Amino acid sequence: MNNAVAGFSKLSKKEKINWIVNEYFSTPEEAHNIIRNYWNSDEKLQQLHDEFIENTITNFYIPLGVAPNFLINGKNKTIPMAIEESSVVAAASKSAKYWATRGGFKTTVIDTEKIGQVHFTFNGDAQKLEVLFNLIKPKFFSETKSITKNMQLRGGGILDIQLKDKRNLLANYFQLHATFETKDSMGANFINSCLEQFATTLKEEAQNADLEIEVIMSILSNYVPNCIVRAEVSCPVKDLTEKHITNPQDFAERFVQAVQIAEVEPYRAVTHNKGIMNGVDAVVLATGNDFRAVEAGVHAYASRNGQYSSLSHAKIENGVFTFWLEIPLALGTVGGLTSLHPLVKLCLEILQKPSAKELMEIIAVAGLAQNFAALRSLTTTGIQEGHMKMHLNNIINQFEANEQERLLIKTHFKKIAVSHSAVVEFIENLRK
């Protein structure tokens, strides 16, 4: 077997698939059928998907669910979530229902500033560079007018540009640090186009001033510590009572302690924040935004004080329980997949066509709801009881159980703890 291939990108889709199935599978026809089964029957729609990325052979499906009954700033929302993990949508829905009768979720967008940088080196008199920068700063704005015109009409644009001396970090390292407002677009292309023009202007003006600089790269940053949204829930401690919370004061204290552990213990904080991102990423993906960029920025923010820590916080004050988080979210509701992917359009319709700010609020709420559900389980019944019951379907599907077997398995495990080994043993005994 020789797995190397020349000119793969130039092959047709059919040729690519034929090469894959013949090179890697002992039963090429079976592999070919699996690939074909996940094509869209609508040829035009399939072509649209094929053109999202390169070297496409088929579609990889992720379930799209909805979590209803979210009361956010007094308005009811149903939140679409694209995720493959069991219990996430159920947990979010449960939290939504729980808090809807206790005042709902409150949100605030603190800021929407985004960042881009031109990274360059200069081995000379830093004072001369600073004089040049102050002299040509207006040119950075004037020479990007053609790029910023439409954004300015929507109320966005370049906010500021600063020269930063970073020689304490790296020899001869400087940067142009620019801030932007991109309104309802995520703004990556807009920001990068501005930055590349800044770099061109800087190089030309430095050459005219007889200063030698070398531009290394011009690129936006996915770390946006000034593009922050806050989501919170609160109610009197006595109102926390429900099926699994018979002593609300005890529950509130244990809950706060659980959050405090995540604030000081990185091993716990990573899993704690992963739970938040279960909710965040699912909505980011459903609305056609870049969940990798969001993840990178959020986790950098969680480390901003020198140690990785919890994104959420909780307190009891004057008999009131409060649980909140603040996270950076650079999102868009126009451009990119939002205008191309039919399901993204559908999800934005479900959310009643939110602005980028409103989407920040919705996604922060999804993260907080997910975190509340996890911590409520952890501090009461334990997380496995609900999760494994949701996971039961996956185990049943793995063993391709028929309808009669499904009924018997689910009836058996209604009152018995679910574990993979217990389910496997029951299925094996059932089939003997």
Clarify whether 210 is annotated catalytic: no
Closest CA to 109 of 365, 360, 322: 360
Under 8 Å between Cβ of 120 and 213? yes
275 contacts: CB under 8 Å, gap ≥ 6: 370, 371, 374
25 contacts: CB under 8 Å, gap ≥ 6: 31
Under 8 Å between Cβ of 370 and 88? yes
Q: How far is the C-alpha of 366 from the C-alpha of 10, rounded, in Å?
A: 42
Under 8 Å between Cβ of 388 and 417? yes
Q: How far is the C-alpha of 370 from the C-alpha of 96, rounded, in Å?
A: 9
Q: How far is the C-alpha of 196 from the C-alpha of 201, rounded, in Å?
A: 9
| Phi/psi at 70 (5° precision) | -80, 120
Catalytically annotated residue among 290, 341, 361, 391? 290
Under 8 Å between Cβ of 308 and 369? no
43 contacts: CB under 8 Å, gap ≥ 6: none
Q: Tell me, what DSSP letter sits at residue 9? A: G
Distances (CA, A) of 46 to 58, 173, 342: 9, 47, 11
Clarify whether 274 is annotated catalytic: yes
Catalytically annotated residue among 85, 143, 253, 326? 85
Catalytically annotated residue among 49, 203, 274, 412? 274
Clarify whether 290 is annotated catalytic: yes
Alpha helices in 379-416 (DSSP H): 383-398, 403-412
Q: How far is the C-alpha of 173 from the C-alpha of 308, rounded, in Å?
A: 27
Q: What is the DSSP string of 59-107?
A: -----EEEEEEEEETTEEEEEEEE--STTHHHHHHHHHHHHHTTT-BEE
Q: How, if at all, do strands 114-122 and 173-181 pair?
A: antiparallel
Return the number of other C-beta atoms located less than 10 Å from residue 185's C-beta.
20
Catalytically annotated residue among 77, 94, 119, 387? 387
Under 8 Å between Cβ of 237 and 319? yes
Return the number of other C-beta atoms located less than 10 Å from residue 55's C-beta.
11
* Catalytic sites, residue numbers: 85, 274, 290, 387
